[in-house]
């Protein structure tokens, strides 16, 4: 049955970024043919589906094996560790990721946006909520590839755009920020009854939390472009600080996956070939007596915490005793564990970096930095006494030069953002922290990047063959279709 479903999916999903799934239900076919029948589509169900897909796809197979290993959180076993060797022969995975994102999150949310902006079914609040999800979905895709179909993306069926153009990432980011600003203005004054009181899987239609989410994501995007467009970054950061932001774990955008195998990390922890926590992560947690160590890491078969070194070549991996190393922590990999796409702790760290970079205010930056660490400890249910003890540790205060303090912020962000590995990979690319050292040792694989952490996913051969003209134009602007070609905002 699973194989049949997979075949159906591959058949229905078109090979271009711009195309969307073709519904097998005759009623939907009639709707697509007759725009006047759009009221029969349940936009609430589509909104729920798009939102859940956002969480699932950003932690799914096409991302976990890449970003979690690129960012040195873990090492996968068997052939699943090939991305950890910095190879680029993953054409099917690159294509699956784009198909799943465009055919899932983007397809459904674009339909919601169409319905909620159409005369007769217009609903500004629902449209604003959908825009927040759309922004987060497009952000993941553009951060993976760089230039992508955006203004014409996901509109193959609704507008007949079969070969969509690729927009520059600079344009995409500026538009995403503007969409969030417009959504925040609507969310602040809207009547909750007009939202999704029965179909919001994140906040159960709490608009205050939606404002905080939208503004925190806007802060994330503003800091992402810090080195690419410093003026706009500083301007938007200032705007973000004037509106409510995420402050405690009750504001986190989290979700429990109730279908299938549950949390995707449960599957990766318990099924072959398995994953083992990175030596880099365990060393960091142990060196500072971090109470999150037993949260993020399970003890090995000898009752200790032992990490697997990232990047080993085949010979060295074969003698590394991979199977005996520590598994990923149960707290983040049980069936009921939460998935996260934005958290209060990330927001505090972004604010700390902004205070240091834009206000040259180390005192305020330190206060915000400490708040970020404390919020992370609370998020993961660390005991109060342990929180008090750890917060008295010198690790939890910024010291040294501005560069050293930025490294401290980046390192704590890396720890606290677990298990949103995709976002962490993006943050490391942007800031350079924590430092993922160039691989020079003889027991390590340098891959196609000459030992440097990969900077993007590749456009797949299927995309190249079906929309070659537009992709080649993107490549001519962005740079070679290689995994070490930086995206627009990756300037540091």
**Confidence at residue 50, expressed as pLDDT on a 0 to 100 scale:** 96
Mean pLDDT, rounded, for 463-491: 96
pLDDT at 22: 34
State whether residue 75 is helix, strand or coil. Answer: strand
Residue 270 is predicted with a pLDDT of 78
Residue 266's pLDDT is what?
79
Residue 262: pLDDT band with limits 50, 70, 90: low
Instruction: Return the pLDDT at 59.
Output: 76
Report whether 425 contacts 291 (CB < 8 A): no
Residue 489 to residue 232: CA distance in whole angstroms: 12
Report the pLDDT value the prediction gives residue 272, as an integer from 0 to 100.
67
% of the chain exceeding 70 in pLDDT: 89
Distance of alpha carbon 282 from alpha carbon 457, whole angstroms? 27
Rounded distance between C-alpha atoms, residue 107 and residue 233, angstroms: 30
Q: Provide the whole-model pTM.
A: 0.91
CA 186 to chain CA mean position, Å: 25
Q: What is the pLDDT of residues 315-351, one digit of tens each?
A: 999 999 999 999 999 999 888 899 999 999 999 999 9
Q: Averaged over 353-381, what is the pLDDT?
A: 98
Q: Which residues, 6+ apart, have CB-to-CB distance to 453 below 8 Å?
A: 70, 86, 428, 429, 436
Residue whose pair of structure tokens reads 């217009």 in the numeric block: 122
Of 404 and 27, the structure prediction assigns the larger pLDDT to 404
Residue 88 in tokens:
């680029």
The rounded mean pLDDT for the chain is 90
Whether residue 360 has pLDDT greater than 70: yes
Q: What is the pLDDT of residues 61-105, one digit of tens each?
A: 667 789 999 999 999 988 889 999 999 999 999 999 999 999 999
pLDDT at residue 232, rounded to an integer: 98
List 308's β-bridge partners, or say none. 278
Interval 190-227: pLDDT, tens: 999 999 999 999 999 999 999 999 999 999 999 999 99
Confidence band, pLDDT 50/70/90 cuts, at residue 257: confident
**Confidence (pLDDT) at 255:** 93
């Amino acid at each position: 049955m699973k194989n049949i479903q997979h075949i159906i999916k591959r058949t229905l999903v078109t090979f271009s970024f711009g195309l969307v799934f073709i519904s097998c239900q005759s009623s939907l076919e009639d709707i697509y043919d007759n725009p006047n029948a759009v009221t029969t589509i349940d936009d609430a169900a589509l909104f729920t589906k798009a939102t859940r897909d956002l969480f699932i796809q950003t932690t799914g197979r096409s991302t976990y094996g890449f970003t979690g290993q690129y960012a040195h959180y873990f090492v996968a076993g068997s052939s699943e560790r090939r991305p950890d060797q910095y190879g680029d022969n993953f054409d099917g995975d690159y294509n699956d990721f784009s198909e799943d994102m465009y055919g899932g999150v983007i397809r459904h949310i674009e339909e919601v946006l169409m319905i909620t902006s159409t005369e007769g079914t217009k609903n500004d609040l629902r449209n604003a909520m959908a825009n927040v999800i759309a922004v987060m979905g497009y952000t993941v895709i553009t951060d993976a590839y760089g230039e992508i179909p955006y203004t014409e993306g996901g509109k193959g069926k609704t507008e007949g755009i079969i070969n969509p153009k690729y927009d520059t990432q600079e344009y995409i980011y500026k538009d995403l920020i503007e969409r969030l600003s417009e959504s925040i203005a609507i969310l602040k004054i809207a009547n909750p009854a007009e939202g999704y009181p029965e179909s919001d899987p994140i906040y159960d239609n709490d608009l205050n939390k939606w404002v905080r989410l939208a503004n925190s994501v806007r802060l994330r995007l503003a800091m992402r472009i810090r080195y690419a467009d410093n003026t706009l970054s500083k301007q938007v950061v200032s705007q973000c600080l004037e509106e409510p932001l995420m402050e405690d774990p009750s504001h986190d955008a989290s979700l429990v996956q109730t279908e299938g195998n549950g949390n995707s990390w449960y599957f990766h922890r318990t099924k072959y070939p398995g994953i083992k926590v990175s030596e880099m992560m365990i060393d960091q947690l142990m060196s500072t007596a971090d109470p999150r160590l037993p949260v993020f890491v399970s003890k090995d078969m000898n009752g200790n915490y032992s990490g697997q070194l990232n990047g080993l070549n085949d010979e060295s991996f074969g003698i590394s005793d991979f199977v005996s190393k520590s598994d990923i922590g149960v707290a983040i990999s049980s069936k009921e564990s939460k998935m996260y796409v934005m958290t209060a702790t990330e927001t505090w760290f972004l604010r700390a970096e902004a205070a240091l970079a834009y206000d040259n205010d180390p005192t305020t930056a330190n206060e915000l930095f400490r708040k970020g660490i404390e919020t992370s400890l609370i998020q993961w249910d660390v005991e109060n006494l342990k929180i008090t003890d750890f917060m008295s540790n010198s690790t939890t205060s910024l010291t040294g030069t501005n560069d050293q303090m930025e490294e401290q912020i980046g390192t704590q962000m890396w720890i606290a953002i677990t298990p949103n590995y995709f976002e962490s990979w993006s943050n490391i690319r942007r800031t350079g922290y924590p430092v993922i050292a160039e691989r020079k040792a003889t027991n390590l694989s340098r891959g196609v990047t000459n030992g440097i952490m990969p900077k993007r996913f590749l456009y797949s051969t299927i995309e190249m063959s079906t929309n070659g003209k537009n992709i080649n134009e993107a490549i001519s602007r962005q740079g070679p279709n290689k995994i070490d070609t930086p995206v627009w905002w990756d300037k540091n």
